Amino acid sequence: MLNAQAYYNLGIALREQKKLDAAVAAYQKTLTLPEDNSIIPASAHNSC
């Protein structure tokens, strides 16, 4: 299963190819998925 970042990147690629309907669909899919915070370094969670 693709995560939100993957669908966002797909939307960018499709937009560059002028496949605007497909790009919009990819961007809309991004908005339905949970945010992926796994790329945030663990040290950022303990900054306080």
Tens digits of residue pLDDT in 1-36: 778 889 999 999 999 999 999 999 999 999 998 876
Residue carrying structure tokens 């690629």 = 13
Mean pLDDT in residue range 37-44: 52
Gap between the Cα atoms of 27 and 19, Å rounded: 12
Residue 25 CA neighbour count, 13 Å, CB half: 5
Range of the domain at 27: 4-35
Residue 44 lies in a domain: no
Residue 43 falls within a domain, yes or no? no
29 located within any domain: yes
pLDDT confidence bin for 48, thresholds 50/70/90: very low
- 28-37 contact pairs (CB < 8 A, 24+): 30/4, 33/3, 33/4, 33/7, 34/4, 35/4, 36/3, 36/4, 36/5
Overall pTM > 0.75: no
**Total domains in the fold of the chain:** 1
Asked, for residue 10, whether it belongs to a domain, the answer is yes
Q: What whole-number distance in Å separates Cα of residue 8 and Cα of residue 5?
A: 5
Q: Is 17 a domain residue?
A: yes
> Is 39 a residue whose pLDDT tops 80?
no
